[in-house]
Amino acid sequence: MIGIFDSGFGGLTVFKEIKRALPKYDYIYLGDSLRSPYGGRTQETIHQFTQQAVDFLFKQGCQLVILACNTASSEALRKLQQEWLPAHHPERRILGVIRPLAEEAIKASRFGRIGVVGTKATVQSKAYEKELKHLKKEVKVYQQSAPLLVPLIEEGWLDKPETRMIIKKYLRPLKDAQIDSLILGCTHYPLLMKEFKRIAGKRVNVLNAPKIVADKLVDYLNRHPEIENKLTRNGQIKYLTTNSPEHFDELGSKFLGSPIKSAKVAL
């Protein structure tokens, strides 16, 4: 089984592409909606919450867990991989969303001027900047936190003029910096892809984050048969939430683009 973890609903945009690319596998999607959003929390708290979620998914039989959450990936992934995993589950794996997007941004960038929009926690962690500069030292990285977008997306304000105005305001410093590529560093943001593309303009390549993560997962499984061979293939999917299943099903179906039936769990 493959586990997909997010602090709430946003990771469903990533999961939608993963299950399209790899439809035969069994999945558990876990959204920690009770404690969402993670974006304004301390690194220690985000690490603790993420570790609890990953441990839960491993106990459910997942061999591989994708942190389909930029905040969890930026604040918890490395420590979990380097310290917790070897001590507790050395035969299993945890992957995030930041490295795949950084690799693709470096490839896509024409002039080495890359913009990142994300939650405050993701931007303050400088996880994208570190990863991008690790891959290519001379790259210029311009970041912008966009805290108002997640609540607007969850309210369904995708086509409202207020949302367009806010995106314009957030992108203005990045456009002034003449970025040529843009990373949407939050899994909610792909729901506003059309607006980001329109406002960023034709000269800016807005990366399709969910598709990139899915393609990189396909590549990872091809390169790691020792993990791939352990994965079950019955095409079964379980959706789990730490909050109201009714609320999760209603909002989650909008992110996934198809109906969801979830169950409540405690971490």
Catalytic residues: 69, 186
Close Cβ partners of 186 (under 8 Å, ≥ 6 residues apart): 10, 70, 71, 117, 118, 119, 122, 146, 149, 150
- Per-residue burial over 205-238, b if 16 or more Cβ lie within 10 Å, else e, is bbbbbbbbbbbbbeebbeeeeebeeebeeeeebb
Instruction: Cis check for the bond before 37: say yes or no (omega within 30 of 0).
Output: yes
Residues 19 and 64: their CA atoms lie apart, in Å, by 14
Backbone angles phi, psi at 259, to 5 degrees: -65, 150
User: Coil, helix or strand for 15?
Assistant: helix
What residue spans of 60-202 are helical by DSSP H? 70-75, 77-79, 85-88, 98-108, 120-125, 127-135, 149-154, 161-176, 193-200
Nearest to 144, CA basis, from 175, 101, 106? 175
Backbone angles phi, psi at 99, to 5 degrees: -60, -45
Residues 30 and 239: their CA atoms lie apart, in Å, by 6
